[in-house]
Chains A and B, each alone.
Chain A
């Protein structure tokens, strides 16, 4: 039997949630700018299509909830690793109920559900970076120490290190995993600083892929049974400079569009 802690394992399922129309007006926002709801919904459809058709994942689509304008960002509602799913307690009060649907969906998948019941704890999945060997949890506006502790309790096999996130919303606002042992990182000062901290805190060595745009560092890496290593990243049109970097570095990368968000 293979080890329990085998890096990323294989990706088989994807959970997404439709975009509520309330997103445009009521969703929480870092900056004040209009959201093109229709464009967002188009992009989302493409995204889901890629997951289903191109990648062959079993996609579980949760219906949108108008009362939860941010519910499309399913990443924040849960952290799944191995056979355990930690249902988070989102830092934004308005998002707390997003977890209910997620919890049901994950439970149906047979995962062991761990709930974050401590009222002093907050955790957004966007602050959780799983490298395959350990967790980094950004301590941000949305995630606090207690939330990180609970995550550490939920995934006892792994080291959980905290990284201060002073700028930006989440830790993963400027970084993500680009593959086993590879961290894709934005080039902003806060991003680079955070990377330094992560490198210092880790017993493992990571390669880094620095992309010019912080937002372009938001990628999705997955290991698919039939397709090998796959990286979802933003379109070249969106971040032309960053796309070059990715293309050159990743030979076996399937370029897909990940525009939503």
Chain B
């Protein structure tokens, strides 16, 4: 196949073909060509779609492919395992409406290439996937949270930028595309049941006020949990040390509340507008211990806000001094030529700012000459942290005698203020118990040296809600600042009274630990005073978006440098590996069922992360190790056509994991981090988002240009689209495209059974069959996917692998393998396969023709959910050169209490997986630990 030419052309063709195909199966040869094209298209689309969209896109595509592809498969003569796609397809279309703009991004990609013809294909993908995305997103979020600590940083950053860009761009384009498509193609799709899909996909537009005053619009599934949005925001900010931050909202009483990351947003937010704010939640007592400048910068922004609003009282001199550091950070050295004070009055240094103060600020500013922005921020913080009200969260209350007081919650304990005076203080060690009842808030005090009995101090809050709010803030602050690890929430008991709420995030100790692992080049970010923004521009969000794009590019350029600079062969290899992996992953994704894809996609950020991770100056060895880890539990079974089954025994258990651990001290944490890393790696492979970048590298012209254009446009589109999209999106879009993708899947995927147990501690893997059953039981959760997939054959089938494919893979893999240590030897075949695939991904277009494109015989995805387990199994059978390959990928998300032995759980999961498929080999295991927060009990 000559895919090389241009994804565009292919893409265009695809849609048509797809439509045609459904009607009647074509001859095998044609199919192949089509498939090849489809693959190419898919690849391209994937690449172009860009990161953020990935999750949505990939899933959609995959689904579509499956559905549409099925016809082709049938034609090929292979088993008609796939159930009729029509019903599902229709449903999907319906869903599309609900899809958020960013999900639709794919279109944008497509737009780039096949603008005219784009018509249907891309849109479809986005649409279909929407539902899943939501779920995935949550998962992803959870994962991210857990992962975030160590490895996340990089990834998130990338994601953020990428996503934003994509979203905005895609959103606009997609909408258009969808609309267009709807008309022409729509008839067909619409007919099918849109209702089902619709339900699940409801999206809501959130508006998050950033610390610089700009607005960050973000569309989330209506049922999304707080952490999903939070991570989106952190991504956008390129923030890794996110544990100090949180999202806040105003309740009905106009009181500021923290969004509980573990609960659904809609259950918390009362205002219809879903207006939130990104804020510092835990003020680090010593900001100099923060790892990254960007974190300090954000803290500075928060403090400037606190100061300007009067929440953080300062003396005149301190106002002036802090203001002068702000000037230095944002404007650089004082410009003697700049005589006028105009530029200064754009800054707000104090609640009420006098000319005198501005002059003082300028005077001090002059003394900072030569200070870098980061240094200025540091100085700012060194002075701000000494302020007595730094990090004190005040709450109105009355004492036992009805006197108005303020309760100040901070890192050290609870402060009691009467007006501006501190009248009492209860350090955390002095407090034995914190409780609230009705509108009262109580603390039980440890008896003093001379006292015999504990005493309880009660405060009267304005109402029950505020009492609870203070209580929660106390619990969170105490946990964050005083504990090494979060306290496990009390297990739900039927008769337990009181809130089960516990702070489930990381503690300061943990986040510091994690921060030590941050290994990325300092991300570029633009310093902007919110004040100036709002004054200079009406549309703050525009500016913000623009700035974001810029930073996005900057960031990537840095990344690139990284790759290139790595002089050493090894480093270079690493970079390549990364890219490769991405490509491979992408391919895999395509192969995988929608759900899988979705899951993968869900964490676009993750992909980015992993990508980032790899990129940074990781030591070669580490990178290798990581790779290994990632690869660990895959089962691949290659059976010669006949009945001969060749089993590649590659059980590379994630032994490496341990090695990677930077520090052994904090076992728990380390593990999490490690897992996170693994996860990210795997994710990266999975996610398409990265693809864009990769594509850029591989196909500089096409991809790059496309992305650039999009980016520029994004800002504008974003807003416009955001508003519009919600409704429009729903339209059924390009199912045609899906077909191509399906084909693609077949091609790349050598029959590999991948089991990716998402290593939540406890549970082991569930048998696939079981999972399937479960799926059926819980149809709504999985939505359409489950139905369609269910029909397909659940069990893993042995297939013969096409020799050719392997060969190719080997080649590539060798390079890859060579660098790897042990794995290379054993796993090489498998790993290589992936690697290969990836590597060739770009090349595939070209090579696909000569090579034997595998024929996708069957592809099924099964999703099952039980109380604490969600299992997604994706099985693909590919026929290549007379050999069939079966690949099984399992994703198991175990939700449960955190006190599980991770190692044991991992071992158990692998063991079970192996037992389930004795004749297959485990090639990859991706472990991801996600910490679930306990829900609040009764209020």
Interface of A toward B, CB cutoff 8 Å:
1, 3-5, 82-84, 112, 133-134, 137, 145, 148-149, 152-153, 155-162, 200-203
The answer on a CB contact under 8 Å between A5 and B318 is yes
B308 to chain A, nearest CB (A): 14
The answer on a CB contact under 8 Å between A162 and B314 is no
B23 interface residue, CB < 8 Å from A? no
* B367 nearest in chain A by CB position: A1
B274 interface residue, CB < 8 Å from A? no
B316 interface residue, CB < 8 Å from A? yes
- Given A5-B318, A112-B316, the answer on whether A159 and B383 have CB atoms closer than 8 Å is no
The answer on a CB contact under 8 Å between A201 and B422 is yes
* A1 nearest in chain B by CB position: B367
The answer on a CB contact under 8 Å between A155 and B315 is yes
Partner of B424, one of A1, A82, A84, A201: A201
The answer on a CB contact under 8 Å between A153 and B386 is no
**In the assembled complex, which residues on chain B have CB atoms less than 8 Å from the CB atom of A160?**
388, 420-422
The answer on a CB contact under 8 Å between A161 and B314 is no
- Given A1-B368, A3-B386, the answer on whether A159 and B422 have CB atoms closer than 8 Å is yes
Partner of B383, one of A4, A152, A201: A4
Partner of A149, one of B386, B388, B389, B420: B420
Which of A1, A157, A158 has the largest number of chain B CB atoms within 10 A? A157
Interface of B toward A, CB cutoff 8 Å:
313-318, 321, 324, 364, 367-368, 382-383, 386-389, 412, 418-425, 427, 430
Apart from A160-B420, A161-B422: 8 A-B pairs, beta carbons within 8 A:
A4-B383, A133-B386, A134-B388, A149-B421, A152-B421, A157-B313, A159-B388, A162-B423
A251 to chain B, nearest CB (A): 29
- Given A112-B316, A156-B314, A157-B386, the answer on whether A4 and B321 have CB atoms closer than 8 Å is yes
Which of A134, A149, A152 has the largest number of chain B CB atoms within 10 A? A152
The answer on a CB contact under 8 Å between A5 and B313 is no
A171 to chain B, nearest CB (A): 14
**In the assembled complex, which residues on chain B have CB atoms less than 8 Å from the CB atom of A200?**
424-425, 427, 430
In the complex, the 6 A-B pairs of residues with the closest C-beta atoms, listed nearest first: A159-B388, A152-B420, A156-B313, A161-B422, A157-B315, A201-B425
The answer on a CB contact under 8 Å between B315 and A82 is yes
- Given A3-B383, A4-B315, the answer on whether A203 and B412 have CB atoms closer than 8 Å is yes
The answer on a CB contact under 8 Å between B386 and A5 is yes
A33–B386 Cα gap in the complex (Å)? Answer: 46
B359 to chain A, nearest CB (A): 14
The answer on a CB contact under 8 Å between B420 and A153 is yes
B479 to chain A, nearest CB (A): 19
The answer on a CB contact under 8 Å between A5 and B424 is no
**In the assembled complex, which residues on chain A have CB atoms less than 8 Å from the CB atom of B424?**
200-201
A162–B420 Cα gap in the complex (Å)? Answer: 10
Partner of A157, one of B324, B388, B425, B427: B388
- Given A82-B315, A112-B316, the answer on whether A149 and B368 have CB atoms closer than 8 Å is no
**In the assembled complex, which residues on chain B have CB atoms less than 8 Å from the CB atom of A137?**
421
The answer on a CB contact under 8 Å between B421 and A1 is no
The answer on a CB contact under 8 Å between A161 and B317 is no
- Given A157-B387, A157-B388, the answer on whether A4 and B317 have CB atoms closer than 8 Å is yes
A76 to chain B, nearest CB (A): 20
B123 to chain A, nearest CB (A): 57
**In the assembled complex, which residues on chain B have CB atoms less than 8 Å from the CB atom of A161?**
421-423, 425
Sampled A-B contacts (19; CB under 8 Å): A3-B386, A5-B386, A83-B317, A112-B316, A134-B388, A149-B421, A152-B419, A152-B421, A153-B420, A156-B315, A157-B314, A157-B387, A160-B388, A160-B422, A162-B421, A162-B422, A162-B423, A200-B424, A201-B422
A202–B415 Cα gap in the complex (Å)? Answer: 10
**In the assembled complex, which residues on chain B have CB atoms less than 8 Å from the CB atom of A156?**
313-315, 318
A153–B419 Cα gap in the complex (Å)? Answer: 10
- Given A1-B321, A3-B383, A5-B383, the answer on whether A145 and B421 have CB atoms closer than 8 Å is yes
A256–B313 Cα gap in the complex (Å)? Answer: 39
A116 to chain B, nearest CB (A): 14
B318 to chain A, nearest CB (A): 5
**In the assembled complex, which residues on chain B have CB atoms less than 8 Å from the CB atom of A201?**
422, 424-425
A158–B312 Cα gap in the complex (Å)? Answer: 11
**In the assembled complex, which residues on chain B have CB atoms less than 8 Å from the CB atom of A202?**
425
Which of A1, A82, A134 has the largest number of chain B CB atoms within 10 A? A1
**In the assembled complex, which residues on chain A have CB atoms less than 8 Å from the CB atom of B368?**
1
A1–B430 Cα gap in the complex (Å)? Answer: 38
A19–B52 Cα gap in the complex (Å)? Answer: 79
A3–B315 Cα gap in the complex (Å)? Answer: 12
A200–B431 Cα gap in the complex (Å)? Answer: 12
A149–B174 Cα gap in the complex (Å)? Answer: 60
B723 to chain A, nearest CB (A): 44
**In the assembled complex, which residues on chain A have CB atoms less than 8 Å from the CB atom of B314?**
156-157
A84–B423 Cα gap in the complex (Å)? Answer: 24
**In the assembled complex, which residues on chain A have CB atoms less than 8 Å from the CB atom of B386?**
3, 5, 133, 157
The answer on a CB contact under 8 Å between B422 and A157 is no
Partner of B318, one of A148, A153, A157, A162: A157
A162–B762 Cα gap in the complex (Å)? Answer: 53
The answer on a CB contact under 8 Å between A84 and B388 is no
A148–B423 Cα gap in the complex (Å)? Answer: 11
B419 to chain A, nearest CB (A): 5
**In the assembled complex, which residues on chain B have CB atoms less than 8 Å from the CB atom of A158?**
388
B362 to chain A, nearest CB (A): 13
B100 to chain A, nearest CB (A): 45
A138 to chain B, nearest CB (A): 12
A222–B5 Cα gap in the complex (Å)? Answer: 82
* A201 nearest in chain B by CB position: B425
**In the assembled complex, which residues on chain B have CB atoms less than 8 Å from the CB atom of A4?**
315, 317-318, 321, 383
* A5 nearest in chain B by CB position: B386
Which of B317, B389, B422, B423 has the largest number of chain A CB atoms within 10 A? B422
Which of A83, A155, A161, A162 has the largest number of chain B CB atoms within 10 A? A161
**In the assembled complex, which residues on chain A have CB atoms less than 8 Å from the CB atom of B421?**
137, 145, 148-149, 152, 160-162
The answer on a CB contact under 8 Å between B316 and A1 is no
**In the assembled complex, which residues on chain A have CB atoms less than 8 Å from the CB atom of B367?**
1
A132 to chain B, nearest CB (A): 11
A82–B314 Cα gap in the complex (Å)? Answer: 13
* B388 nearest in chain A by CB position: A159
B910 to chain A, nearest CB (A): 50
B57 to chain A, nearest CB (A): 51
B430 to chain A, nearest CB (A): 8
* B364 nearest in chain A by CB position: A1
A159–B415 Cα gap in the complex (Å)? Answer: 11
A171–B790 Cα gap in the complex (Å)? Answer: 80
A133 to chain B, nearest CB (A): 8
A197 to chain B, nearest CB (A): 9
B848 to chain A, nearest CB (A): 65
**In the assembled complex, which residues on chain B have CB atoms less than 8 Å from the CB atom of A203?**
412, 425
A41 to chain B, nearest CB (A): 38
A201 to chain B, nearest CB (A): 5
A112 to chain B, nearest CB (A): 7
A166 to chain B, nearest CB (A): 16
A161–B418 Cα gap in the complex (Å)? Answer: 10
**In the assembled complex, which residues on chain A have CB atoms less than 8 Å from the CB atom of B420?**
149, 152-153, 160
**In the assembled complex, which residues on chain A have CB atoms less than 8 Å from the CB atom of B324?**
1
A140 to chain B, nearest CB (A): 15
A190–B284 Cα gap in the complex (Å)? Answer: 37
A200–B422 Cα gap in the complex (Å)? Answer: 11
B354 to chain A, nearest CB (A): 12
A220–B162 Cα gap in the complex (Å)? Answer: 62
A156–B310 Cα gap in the complex (Å)? Answer: 11
A4–B425 Cα gap in the complex (Å)? Answer: 25
A182 to chain B, nearest CB (A): 19
A146 to chain B, nearest CB (A): 9
A198 to chain B, nearest CB (A): 10
A4–B422 Cα gap in the complex (Å)? Answer: 22
A203–B386 Cα gap in the complex (Å)? Answer: 11
A162–B419 Cα gap in the complex (Å)? Answer: 12
**In the assembled complex, which residues on chain A have CB atoms less than 8 Å from the CB atom of B318?**
4-5, 156-157
